[in-house]
Amino acid sequence: MVTRKDSTQSHSHWGKRHYDQGTHEPTYTRPKRKADWFGGLLLLAQFLAAAFTIWLIWQSVEVYVQIGVALADRTLAANLPQWLGWFIRNTWILGSVIKWFLDGGVALVSIAAMLALYVLLQSGEVAPLLLENSPRTLRRLIGSITSHTRLPINSKDHATVAFLKERHNAIPTKWVDSIYTAKWVCYGVDFLICLLACPPLRGGWDRLRLVMTAPTMSDFDFVNAGKIAITLFAVEVGFFVYLWIKRGRTILNTPEPEQATEA
């Protein structure tokens, strides 16, 4: 005979989740995720964007390599001592070897210097883009700005003291503003270098006065104009596309909330 107490005990588990033995936490299982074809498409697009960005960097760095080679030729021709030039011209094998080492060494130094300048300018151009697309960096930067100690400026403060306090209070925000200022400075320097290396006029800047008297479309060098555009904007555009696709993959790969299931 089943009493009321026995009946209650036999059905006490109704409506409750099952617990593992020896634990006090419910068992959670994650449902199997179906094949995400869109995520795979984004992964392929991210790979292609990375490859395309590398190709654009290779195309844009060509201008700086050409400048390095031209500087090496001019430097060696202008600074070569007369006695060394005479020695190179009048000694057959040894002079050729010395000339080869001089040409290669000067060219290597000039190209390395131009590549360093290229990396510096491109880093300055894409720095704001990288900053804006890093949530962790943005959180740290916002936290640093909000937690920065601000000194109160009183009416009795000396003008110099008040000025120094203003500079102190604006240190974090000034630093962020300087990143965007440096971006446009780098773009300006990059543009001037491109104009000197790849003049958009056929025949170079020496024909500028002649072209200005009667300009025609045939005087415009579209190849050099394309090189200038690639050198100026290709790297940032490539990084933007790559980071945009990567951000989409990160959003889509966010883990779904775990669902509790009964055993």
Task: Give the ranges where the chain is alpha helix by DSSP (H).
Answer: 4-10, 37-79, 82-90, 93-132, 135-147, 159-169, 171-197, 208-213, 222-252
Whether the pTM exceeds 0.75: the reply is no
Of 141, 116, 145, 115, nearest in space to 130 by CA: 141
Q: Is residue 155 part of a domain?
A: yes
Cα–Cα distance for residue pair 71/133, rounded to 1 Å: 38
Query: Which residues form the domain of 76?
Result: 39-248
What pLDDT shows up at residue 260? Answer: 42
Residue 82 gets which letter from DSSP? Answer: H
Q: Domains in the chain: how many in total?
A: 1
CA 46-52-54 angle, 5° bins: 105
Residue 153 gets which letter from DSSP? Answer: -
CA 129-131-132 angle, 5° bins: 65
Cα–Cα distance for residue pair 63/40, rounded to 1 Å: 36
Residue 258 phi/psi, 5° resolution?
-70, 140
DSSP β-bridge partners for residue 29: 259
Q: Is residue 259 part of a domain?
A: no
Q: Which residues have a Cβ under 8 Å from the Cβ of 167 and sit 6 or more positions away?
A: 174
Q: Is residue 3 part of a domain?
A: no
What pLDDT shows up at residue 95? Answer: 62
Q: Is residue 261 part of a domain?
A: no
What pLDDT shows up at residue 13? Answer: 47
Cα–Cα distance for residue pair 40/2, rounded to 1 Å: 60
Contact, 42 vs 248, CB < 8 A?
yes
What pLDDT shows up at residue 246? Answer: 84
Rg of the chain's alpha carbons, rounded to an integer? 33
What pLDDT shows up at residue 167? Answer: 92
Q: Take residue 98 and report the two structure tokens written for it.
A: 């010395």
Q: Is residue 54 part of a domain?
A: yes
Q: Is residue 24 part of a domain?
A: no
With a cut of 50, list the residues of the chain below it in pLDDT.
2, 7-16, 19, 28, 30-32, 34-35, 259-263
Q: Is residue 26 part of a domain?
A: no
Q: Is residue 19 part of a domain?
A: no
Residue 201 gets which letter from DSSP? Answer: B
